[in-house]
Structure 1
Amino acid sequence: MASDSAAPPPLLSDDCHTGVPSRYFDQAVESRTRLHSNRTLPPSIPRQQQVPILPPDVTRETFTTAISELQNLLGNGNVEVNDKPLVDGWYMEHPNTHDAFHLVDQEDLVSSAIVYPGSTEEVSIILKWANQHLIPIYPISMGRNLGYGGAAPRLRGSVVVDLGRRMNKVLNIDGDAATCLVEPGVSYFKLYEEVQKTGLPLWIDTPDLSGGSVLGNCIDRGVIMGADCGWGKGYTPYGDHWANHCGMEVVLPNGEVLRTGMGALPGRDDADNPTWQAFQHAYGPSVDGIFSQSNFGIVTKMGMWLMPATEHQSYCISFPKDDDFEQIVEIIRPLALQRILGNIPQLRNVIQEIATTAKPRSHWFKEKGVMPRELIREIAKTLPCGDCAWVFYGTVYGPEETRNRQLEIIKKEFAKIPGSVFKLPQDLPDDHYIHSRVKINSGTPELKELDWLNWLPNAGHTFFAPITPTKGKDANIVYDIVTRLHHKWGFDCFPTWCVAGREMHFIANVIYDRGDPDAKRRVNGMMHEMIQTCAKEGYGEYRTHLLYQDVVAKTYGYGNQVLMRFNEMLKDTIDPNGILAPGRNGIWPKRLRGRGFELLGGDFEAPKAGSD
């Protein structure tokens, strides 16, 4: 659970799966110090409701009896009742009891208990126990799904199954095949350290922040700044983590253990199949997909492909005008389709150059309301990339001749935009954001992205994350909607585009003061309006916060909601008692469906002009 003491940040070397390697200790201390210096909330707010908060249809007598039974099965130290103060902590010391970045009351999304299995067999025991007592459970890998609900269960009062504390081993690294097999509690930090120990010339693909679960990020199909990753998909050529997973071990809701892909065929003498991490499919239908972004099973092992180490060159290009946006996207598309860009690049608005300085918003602007565009440009003039509107961050890979040819084409194409400026890392100061991108884009973990959170006191964040084609017209429609609604609701807009080729993930990072009830009300209003407005134009989110999963799911309404009805058929067949993560991604089991647990929004009054 989270700690808010003055103790040093946790270290991997102390056998803490959520910790950082010792080489990141000073960076972690500096980041935590900055965030705590900008905090006005107390470490803990007294709880107002009877504890523990129970799930629906479960009496206190039933719960007490069931928890006692589970403690007997797994050991008292592996089952904790959630009846203590709720502490939000910070990124490296996040809670597994509730959402650290709560957008509603801190107690509204909270668990009744937390259980720590130590093996696939114990996960199976937990599921059988949950079926016996009809107690809903909510599995997490590490709980660093910050920005999307963290470790909080979608159904209030569920028992959180924290897989990470005791299931955090890198089970295998195959240097010849460039693969690994991991448990849920393996962070990108840990996988990187384990690969380094082997001395093999292999890269991991790490997201913006590296403290979250490799497995959790993958099965939630995270892109930047999200998933049980604590922000992010990767940015090397292996950046699509779901596309580079291979072979899963899954505990089904009835407690049976299934292996996907070639793992379904036992190896010699019942050993693991030798091609389990080499080939993604088996004979017959490929079922892996139903265990991503779903509540159909608990993934306890996953294979991932690692990237052979290669030479690389990072760069950035700045563009002077807001109106350059459509042309930038049109230039990006053919370069991405021809794989000249090399990785999954980012196009970021210049306000993010300001945010990544780690200086709070009040350092630049003390007024209420949205930071004026004119001021953003004036501040940008004082920063290394200068007076610009957009900054594109990319990396090319391979031998020097290949890299030079790619960079030649990239510079030539983007030079068509008057005023664009190409820079290499050595052209920018040592503390500039590009140096973090160099590490991330070459598979080296980082914490730099935490500097965003110093923007506001008690900063929390969530994301609005629709998909668009890599076409300027489409991208501009979404950008205009998001920008307009940020202004309407009184929030600074931090847009980032992650380019995967034919499509782009648009990530709007919404930063708010979680100690300000009105700010949280306005975030909820803005999120609902952005979801509905973009959906009417045909642009849907690829993932979202717990609070908006029902409303996002309903926007995928083709064929009278046939996709959801199909998911519900699967749910009712696989999990007839409805005990596994009810409501996750809008999928409710039959016994809870239509009883008012869905969150479909409400009326949120927009702020008056000039409010903050």
Structure 2
Amino acid sequence: MENLKRQPPPPALTERHSGIPSRLYGIAQEAKNRLYSNKTVPESVPRRADVRLPPDTTRDEFDIAIAALKRDIGDDNVVLNNQPLVDGWYLEHPNTHDAFHVVDQEDLVCSAVAYPGSTGEVQVVVRWANKYAIPIYPISMGRNVGYGGTAPRVPGSIVVDLGKRMNKILNIDAENASCVVEPGVSYFALYEEVQRRKLPLWIDTPDLGGGSVLGNAIDRGVGYTPMGDHFACHCGMEIVLPNGEILRTGMGAMPGKNGADNPTWQSFQPAYGPYSDGIFSQSNFGIVCQMGFWLMHETGHQSYMITFPSEEDFPDIVEAIRPLAQKRILGNIPQLRHVVQELNVTGLPKSHWYAGSSPIPRDIIQKHAAQLPCGDCSWVFYGTQYGDETSIETQLDIIRSAFANIPGSRFFLPSDLPDDHYIHSRALVCSGVPILRELDWLNWKPNAAHLFFSPITPTRGADAKIVHDINIRLHKKYGFDLFPTLCVAGREMHYITNIIYDRSSNDEKRRVAGLMRELIAETAREGYGEYRTHVLFADQVAGTYNWNNNALMRFNETIKDALDPNGILAPGRNGIWPKNYRGKGWELLGDRVEKAIGGGTISPKL
């Protein structure tokens, strides 16, 4: 590790909205050095084409349209995608394509990137798209890595990068414990501003802190404090609809006194009439330009770790968690991880632990885990309790007692473990401090990329075991290591599988696509569906929600066609296609993704 070649420094938060705060400079530099030391391919390769044009658009038509857009929002705020494609890494990721490309790097690409600087300029871009019949694909910061990043579902679309120029924290209301942010505000930025103002408030952050607060909530991402359901903790949105009109949801729909914002906009979510906010999450029905969030008051907290010795303990662990979570004894959204991730999160490559290319065998995992602080175990549970010291101790006594019913379980506090152990990073995340530690997963393989497979199950051991057994069997079939993380609530669990592959290998890409396709299909046959997926698998996942002759999709299509008759806004996002694309070969079903890898294409032959 000490001999890693030093890379150019990552961007600072003071210089760029997507940068790293000063407290993490050293950690970010080391993470970048490690990631780049595992690369065996060049930063970029020559492109086959200059600009990937939008569908049904000639180069002359495109050039006329781009010239008009530059006049509308400024020449510097529209950039053609005609330069080499560079995948970069988490803090310096592209906004032109998927950095973790499964299909060819040059397939899911935009034709240009537009950078609006206000809600008004977003309106201008949307009206321009309608006039010239060119699809647009809005992103907040593009850091939903593992789900497609910034890749537009329709190649040649214009990526509308909202983060670069729309990155203001518009308000932090300490009395109301709430804030309003634009799309380019990262968890890092929001946390640092709360600290700068010395406010006794916490934010809730996912595992990595560089993503958009607004964007993660719109995708229904999760964190780990008691306010870990990010969309459930939002309050109020400002949205540009596909016709260019501005909509405010919730109490924001009522004007405040003398033209001010409504004073209860960030206090009460629904307002009067139908609660419309939900249709703008995981959809292509509008562009969210501002969003309110509730914050948490700072409090005492205590993180802990519990290990369990046997693979077969898995259903019993889930059964023990459910009553603790339903009774709200568990303080946060805890994680249950397989012990192989104790190896993975060290940042050391798979080759350090195992010389073979097959999935790492269980006996090898046991051997190495025995030398780590967790010891020879199979499952690791990370939780955090909140409140004053006395109440935390009472909670921990109940938790210890419940898990003691599983023979061989062991309880650890952070003080029981070395300073470099993962529990200390977990404790920060669970107290609202955004970090970078989860990047170390990507050192597992050279040129590493990853996909998330993310089904939902009830919090029942039998249900969880069905999904887990499917994962074990299919990961073995396709030759990938299984890295399961369960985010557990009282009634449901997010079973999140991180599939790590070498993006320089077409063979691994085909296998990872085949694995995803079978995982989606087999779990759906058992009644378990994904809550979120990669852009390439959106059509398949959407198709599994097909009760009553696809009533849900027909409802979504009805809304889409009413709001976006020209089909310009993110066609295909989350499997929702407008009428001018529908049934024309754009849907990716069957093995079309595998066939597109290594020279094919995902676009239909029109």
Structure 2 partner of 1:609? none
Structure 1 partner of 2:39? 39
Secondary structure of the residue aligned to 2:384 is strand
Cα distance between partner residues in 2 of 1:470 and 1:587: 29
Cα distance between partner residues in 1 of 2:409 and 2:132: 63
Q: Among residues 297, 319, 323, which one is paired with 2:312 in the alignment?
A: 323
1:397 has 2:398 as partner: no
1:448 CA drift (Å): 0.4
1:175 has 2:177 as partner: no
Q: Among residues 577, 589, 592, which one is paired with 1:600 in the alignment?
A: 589
Secondary structure of the residue aligned to 1:464 is strand
* Deviation by residue 1:272-291 (Cα, 9 ceiling, x = unmatched): 10000000011100100000
Structure 1 partner of 2:134? 135
Secondary structure of the residue aligned to 1:12 is coil
1:313 CA drift (Å): 0.3
* Deviation by residue 1:148-192 (Cα, 9 ceiling, x = unmatched): 000110111100000000000000000001000000000000000
Cα distance between partner residues in 2 of 1:183 and 1:171: 7
Q: Among residues 569, 572, 582, which one is paired with 2:558 in the alignment?
A: 569
Q: Among residues 239, 244, 265, which one is paired with 1:255 in the alignment?
A: 244
**Contact 2:322 2:489 (C-alpha < 8 Å) held by counterparts:** no
1:555 has 2:556 as partner: no
Kindly provide the amino acid, as one letter, of the partner of residue 8 in structure 2. Answer: A
Structure 2 partner of 1:92? 91
* Deviation by residue 1:430-467 (Cα, 9 ceiling, x = unmatched): 00000000100000111000000000000000111000
1:364 has 2:353 as partner: yes
1:7 CA drift (Å): 2.9
1:6 CA drift (Å): 4.3
Cα distance between partner residues in 1 of 2:291 and 2:322: 32
Note the residue ranges of structure 2 that are not aligned, 5 or more in a row: 596-606
Cα distance between partner residues in 2 of 1:557 and 1:294: 17
Cα distance between partner residues in 2 of 1:314 and 1:368: 36
Structure 1 partner of 2:603? none
**Contact 2:7 2:33 (C-alpha < 8 Å) held by counterparts:** no
Aligned-residue identity in percent: 66
Kindly provide the amino acid, as one letter, of the partner of residue 448 in structure 1. Answer: R
**Contact 2:457 2:494 (C-alpha < 8 Å) held by counterparts:** yes
Cα distance between partner residues in 2 of 1:6 and 1:24: 16
1:342 has 2:331 as partner: yes
**Contact 2:220 2:281 (C-alpha < 8 Å) held by counterparts:** yes
* Deviation by residue 1:482-510 (Cα, 9 ceiling, x = unmatched): 11100000000000100122000000000
Structure 2 partner of 1:11? 12
Cα distance between partner residues in 2 of 1:387 and 1:8: 38
1:592 CA drift (Å): 0.8
1:355 has 2:355 as partner: no
Hey, which bits of structure 1, 4+ residues long, moved more than 6 A?
none
Kindly provide the amino acid, as one letter, of the partner of residue 159 in structure 2. Answer: V
**Contact 2:7 2:29 (C-alpha < 8 Å) held by counterparts:** no
Number of aligned residues:
590
Secondary structure of the residue aligned to 1:35 is helix
Cα distance between partner residues in 1 of 2:107 and 2:553: 26
Kindly provide the amino acid, as one letter, of the partner of residue 176 in structure 1. Answer: E
* Deviation by residue 1:269-317 (Cα, 9 ceiling, x = unmatched): 1111000000001110010000000000000000000000000000000
Structure 2 partner of 1:505? 494
- Equivalences for 1:182-261 in 2 at 5 Å? 182-222=181-221, 233-261=222-250
Structure 2 partner of 1:227? none
Secondary structure of the residue aligned to 1:466 is strand
* Deviation by residue 1:45-81 (Cα, 9 ceiling, x = unmatched): 1111x22101111111111000000001111110000
Kindly provide the amino acid, as one letter, of the partner of residue 69 in structure 1. Answer: A
Kindly provide the amino acid, as one letter, of the partner of residue 379 in structure 1. Answer: H
Structure 1 partner of 2:580? 591
**Contact 2:7 2:32 (C-alpha < 8 Å) held by counterparts:** no
Kindly provide the amino acid, as one letter, of the partner of residue 316 in structure 2. Answer: Q
Cα distance between partner residues in 2 of 1:68 and 1:144: 29
Secondary structure of the residue aligned to 2:531 is coil
* Deviation by residue 1:522-570 (Cα, 9 ceiling, x = unmatched): 0000100000000000000001001100000000010000100110000
Secondary structure of the residue aligned to 1:393 is strand
Cα distance between partner residues in 2 of 1:94 and 1:165: 13
Cα distance between partner residues in 2 of 1:526 and 1:448: 27
Cα distance between partner residues in 2 of 1:183 and 1:495: 33
1:134 CA drift (Å): 0.3
Secondary structure of the residue aligned to 2:530 is coil
**Contact 2:139 2:161 (C-alpha < 8 Å) held by counterparts:** yes
Secondary structure of the residue aligned to 1:548 is helix
Structure 1 partner of 2:468? 479
- Equivalences for 1:46-61 in 2 at 5 Å? 46-48=46-48, 50-61=49-60
Structure 1 partner of 2:159? 160
Q: Among residues 521, 525, 550, which one is paired with 1:536 in the alignment?
A: 525
Structure 2 partner of 1:229? none
Cα distance between partner residues in 1 of 2:45 and 2:391: 57
Cα distance between partner residues in 2 of 1:553 and 1:93: 31
Kindly provide the amino acid, as one letter, of the partner of residue 250 in structure 1. Answer: I
Note the residue ranges of structure 1 that are not aligned, 5 or more in a row: 223-232, 606-612
* Deviation by residue 1:552-598 (Cα, 9 ceiling, x = unmatched): 00000100001001100000000000000000000000011111111
Cα distance between partner residues in 2 of 1:175 and 1:98: 39
- Equivalences for 1:366-515 in 2 at 5 Å? 366-515=355-504
Structure 1 partner of 2:262? 273
Structure 2 partner of 1:24? 24
1:5 CA drift (Å): 11
**Contact 2:486 2:495 (C-alpha < 8 Å) held by counterparts:** yes
Instruction: Tell me how large the CA RMSD over aligned residues is.
Output: 1.1
TM-score (norm 2): 0.97
1:8 CA drift (Å): 1.3
Secondary structure of the residue aligned to 2:307 is strand
Structure 2 partner of 1:104? 103
Cα distance between partner residues in 1 of 2:489 and 2:400: 20
Cα distance between partner residues in 2 of 1:488 and 1:60: 45
Structure 1 partner of 2:275? 286
TM-score (norm 1): 0.96
* Deviation by residue 1:342-379 (Cα, 9 ceiling, x = unmatched): 10000000000000110000111111211111111111
Cα distance between partner residues in 1 of 2:459 and 2:489: 9
Structure 2 partner of 1:608? none
Indicate how the Cα distance of structure 1 residues 156 and 265 shifts in structure 2: closer, same or farther if over 3 A, else same.
same
Q: Which moved more, 1:126-135 or 1:361-370?
A: 361-370
Cα distance between partner residues in 1 of 2:438 and 2:318: 24
Secondary structure of the residue aligned to 1:406 is helix
